[in-house]
Amino acid sequence: MHNHALRARYLAAVAAGLLVGCAATPPTAPKAANAADMPWLERLTFGVNSGVLAQYQKLGRNGFLEAQLRGADEQLPDAVAQDLAQPAAGRLDAAQLVLSIAAEQKRINSLPEGPEKQAARQKLNEQGIQAAYEARRRELLRAIYSPAQLKEQMVWFWLNHFSVFEQKANVRWLLGDYSEQAIRPHALGHFRDLVMATLEHPAMLQYLDNAQNAAGHINENYARELMELHTLGVDGGYSQHDVQELARVLTGVGVAAAQAPHLRPELRGYYVRAGAFEFNPARHDFGPKILLGHPLTRHGFAEVSEAVDLLVHQKACARFVSRKLAVYFVGDDPPAAVVERMTQTFQDSDGDIVAVLRTLFTSRELAAQAGRKFKDPMQYVLSAVRLAYDTRLIQNMHPVTGWLGALGEPEFGHQTPDGYSLQDAAWSSSGQMSRRFEIARTIGYGSAGLFDPENGGAATVVGFPLLTTPVYYGALAPSLSAQTRNALERARSQQEWNLYLLASPEFNSR
């Protein structure tokens, strides 16, 4: 952007700041937007922006929903698409990464103690940190700029449901592949495919220790969480005995080494290797097993698949997943009726996520909760930058990852496998409110480093954002309370006005 253009933008912003208090009917208000649909659009997206309004005006409510459910309209802005196509650390596929990182770690361990070893270790560590950042950055680019906003929310939802933690084992290297290969292709697919894709991914196998689970060396960790957190829920009707049985089923499910194992001839037919995934029959417990009262009839990896089938076809699973979706999109304590209908859809459609979401997004229950769900940090930060910068491409994602970290919801940063809480109260305690206001101020008062290119170079945008956009007038302004309008009127500058808007109760909920 040229300097004079920047200056013009700055002046326009100042002028708008002086005007906001008395702007009764702004000339920029879009005509076609139905104000009643705005809260609904806020929940379908990470925040309404100009692209959402245009798509909604073109397709209408139903057409918009169907387009979002297809999730196919992933036409990213050119610059984003080009950026994502760049080769980068963490973009190697998982099979290569698992082996190359392990080889490098082995090499480093074999070096004598001294500066060379220390330097090599530090270098690998820095590469790991960079790989994790790159995975976060790519997720954020898509979440902010993809028109397929519901899909992006579902990617976040499933990454949280099948949560992995970057600091466990070598998981940080695998985050990009985990998202792109295990989660994204199935985010709007069938639930069973998500379970199988995460079960076969080295990030999950390392994170929940199943890579070490072998006959005679049982590790229950993944087996338990697969039922408790991924499929049935803690009240889903399984026992400690079922955990032990499922752990036996999962013996041998692990991560491929460089060399395939030497197997006795009778086991060779059971060996499975696909990318970084390996089912090693020599580590598997081939004894008979009973899961949830059902004797399993198949053997080897087919038995794993049979066990997953059994889990995902439980009504407990349909209800557990449906309720969690309703908590995310509707509210902390979603009405039983909508959860029941979603559960029914889940079962009738064999776990078709699109069908379940359609039931949800066409429900009266969702509409009745408009504006009442407190945004979690991801929804808050993304809606703020989408409002502030709309389609303008952020050059540096570090401020965004920093804000998510400060608010306690960094991507891939949840240590325990339960993922982040979806409850309002988890994000609205006193300490969090003040921190959120600080971030509102940072975003409202300047470009916050978002446009300082990551490889150095001069900032491409300076000054503060102008939030009095058509999106503001179309989607936000009509919902503001007298108290909030009063605060906005007292703003002594455009920056302060930005702070109050981003800190307001209305902007903090959806």
- Residue 379, φ and ψ in degrees, nearest 5: -65, -40
Look at residue 324 and give its three-state secondary structure: helix
At 351 the three-state DSSP class reads coil
CB of 426 to other proteins, least distance (A): 5
Nearer to other proteins, 344 or 423 (CB): 423
DSSP assignment of 434-445, as one string? HHHHHHHHHHHH
Instruction: Using the minimum distance from each CB to other proteins, give the nearer residue, 4 or 492.
Output: 492
Assign 52 to helix, strand or coil: helix
Residue 8: CB minimum distance to other proteins, A: 28
The C-alpha atoms of residue 367 and residue 152 are separated, in whole angstroms, by 21
Residues of this chain that interact with other proteins (CB under 8 A) are: 209, 212-214, 216-221, 224, 228-229, 234, 240, 243, 406, 408, 415-416, 418, 421, 425-435, 437-438, 441, 483-484, 486-487, 490, 492, 496, 499-500, 503-505
> In the complex with other proteins, which residue's Cβ is closer, 127 or 219?
219
Nearest-CA neighbor of 372 among 257, 482, 494, 506? 506
The CB-of-172 to other proteins minimum distance in angstroms stands at 17
Judge whether 187 and 71 are in contact, CB under 8 Å: yes
Minimum gap (Å) between residue 416 Cβ and other proteins: 6
Q: How far is the CB of 355 from other proteins (least distance, A)?
A: 29
As a whole number of angstroms, the distance between CA 14 and CA 196 comes to 54
Token representation of residue 131: 């790989």
Calculate the CA dihedral of residues 386, 391, 394, 400 and round it to 10 degrees: 10
Nearer to other proteins, 4 or 217 (CB): 217
Q: Kindly report the number of other CB atoms within 10 A of residue 293's CB atom.
A: 10
What's the CA gap between 444 and 441, in Å, rounded? 5
Looking up tokens 């965004």 gives: 400
Give whichever of 393 and 426 is closer to other proteins, judged by the CB atom.
Answer: 426
Report in angstroms how near the CB of residue 428 gets to other proteins at its nearest: 6
93 or 332: CB nearest other proteins: 332
CB of 27 to other proteins, least distance (A): 27
Q: Longest C-alpha distance within the chain, in Å?
A: 83
Instruction: Please tell me the distance from the alpha carbon of residue 451 to that of residue 463, in angstroms, as a whole number.
Output: 11
**Which CB sits closer to other proteins, 241 or 268?**
241
